Amino acid sequence: MASSAQLERRAERARERLTDRIADLRYHVSPATVVGELIGVNPSTLGDEILPLIAKQARNNPVASLLIGAGIGWLIFSEVRGPLSKMAFGTPRKAKRGKKRVTRKAKAVAATRSK
């Protein structure tokens, strides 16, 4: 049977392995790495080379580029429109509801209270 000290060491080693794996996953799934792999550039050299490559990809895939641009524009518009529309137009009006039905029991209670 393992002692508590041995179990603690095993748990610590497992935590270290898990931490290393998570750090590795974060690197491989980071936006810079994903974009770099998509356009074929090393993520550390994205500075000056990115604009010509994006322009080339846009020329090669105009429909995809248009859809991506529309999505980004829609996202920006919805973020900007949210707070501004409340300030400019007020809060949206609630739909009118029909009159509440008054039950016999409620009428009886109201009649006894008024007496």
Domains held by the chain: number? 1
With 0-12 CB in 10 A as exposed, 13-18 as middle and 19+ as buried, what is 5? exposed
Domain carrying residue 58: 8-90
- Domain membership of residue 70 (yes or no) is yes
Could you tell me the mean pLDDT of each successive run of 10 residues in the chain, 115 residues long?
Answer: 87 94 83 72 63 82 90 86 57 54 73 72
- Domain membership of residue 80 (yes or no) is yes
Q: What is the pTM of this model?
A: 0.32
- Domain membership of residue 29 (yes or no) is yes
Number of other residues whose CB lies within 10 A of the CB of residue 36? 19
Say what the pLDDT of residue 15 is. Answer: 94
